[in-house]
Amino acid sequence: MEELEKAIGRISLLSPETMQVYLKAWQHWIVPKDYFLLREKEVSDYIYFIRKGVARIYYYKNARPNESSGQKKEITEWIALDDQFFLSITSFFNRVPSYLIIQTLEPSDVYGIHHNDFMRLADEYHEVERLLRKMVTGSLILSQIRMDSIQFETAQQRYERLLQTSPKIIQRVPLSYIASFLGVTLETLSRIRSAK
């Protein structure tokens, strides 16, 4: 749990007493490759921390309500690697079925805190409430950075940014998922990589 404790501390400092209570609420799983932490149409009950491993968050295009039916295309929304928190934010906080799917891409060491435990502790401990606020704020900022990147950066710039933030991603994640995450075709990604 040392990595989890350090990751929490990077977001918001908790007193030793609060940290001890908070860490006790986290569950721990060792899961195989292709394990579903969250399936489509399930309510997301956990915020996850991946100590070691890779998880992909994706959805099926045309799977949301009021969209035309047709062939469903997988769209990778996020890729979480070692020492990262991740969740289906809308489902977790609004307690509604998720259109997102979370699946491991390699055997993974994962921690999770249940929604009910997190909310109870946030009610009881001001420090946990502040941590929750900072986690939500951080998630919103990452979403905005991603949107800005897609709107204002070239495919080449998005690829270079990804390599800067996650240099080992190319060795651990299939290129088709990386291309989808970057909002480009596999052919475009291949051209970018061959030009380097």
| Band (71; pLDDT cuts 50, 70, 90) | low
Integer Cα distance of 190 and 144 in angstroms: 26
Q: How far is CA 51 from CA 7, 80, 83, in A?
A: 10, 10, 5
136: three-class secondary structure by DSSP: helix
The whole-chain average pLDDT of the chain stands at 93
In 65-192, beta strands by DSSP E = 73-81, 84-86, 101-104, 108-114
Instruction: Tell me, yes or no, whether 191 and 137 share the same domain.
Output: no
Distance between terminal CA atoms of the chain?
Answer: 39
Instruction: Tell me, yes or no, whether 74 and 165 share the same domain.
Output: no
Integer Cα distance of 81 and 85 in angstroms: 9
| pLDDT above 90 as % of the chain | 86
Instruction: Tell me, yes or no, whether 84 and 46 share the same domain.
Output: yes
Q: Averaged over 89-104, what is the pLDDT?
A: 97
Q: What is the CATH number of the domain that holds 108?
A: 2.60.120.10
| Band (62; pLDDT cuts 50, 70, 90) | confident
pLDDT above 60 (res 22): yes
Closest C-alpha among 136, 66, 135, 75 to residue 101: 75
Instruction: Tell me, yes or no, whether 113 and 27 share the same domain.
Output: yes
pLDDT tens for 141-182 read 998 998 999 899 999 999 999 999 899 899 999 999 999 999
Instruction: Tell me, yes or no, whether 190 and 120 share the same domain.
Output: no
* Torsion sign, CA atoms 6, 7, 8, 13: positive
Closest C-alpha among 51, 59, 103, 111 to residue 81: 51
| Band (195; pLDDT cuts 50, 70, 90) | confident
pLDDT above 80 (res 65): no
Instruction: Tell me, yes or no, whether 70 and 11 share the same domain.
Output: yes
pLDDT tens for 110-121 read 999 999 999 999
Instruction: Tell me, yes or no, whether 167 and 180 share the same domain.
Output: yes
Instruction: Tell me, yes or no, whether 115 and 60 share the same domain.
Output: yes
Instruction: Tell me, yes or no, whether 124 and 63 share the same domain.
Output: yes
Instruction: Tell me, yes or no, whether 87 and 180 share the same domain.
Output: no
Integer Cα distance of 50 and 40 in angstroms: 20
| Band (189; pLDDT cuts 50, 70, 90) | very high
Q: Domain containing 167: what range?
A: 153-196
Query: Can you read off the two tokens belonging to residue 126?
Result: 């001001």
Instruction: Tell me, yes or no, whether 95 and 124 share the same domain.
Output: yes
Instruction: Tell me, yes or no, whether 145 and 113 share the same domain.
Output: yes
Integer Cα distance of 67 and 49 in angstroms: 32
pLDDT above 70 (res 63): no
4: three-class secondary structure by DSSP: helix
pTM of the model: 0.90
73: three-class secondary structure by DSSP: strand
Domain total of the chain: 2
Contact 72, 95 (CB under 8 A): no
Q: Averaged over 104-109, what is the pLDDT?
A: 98
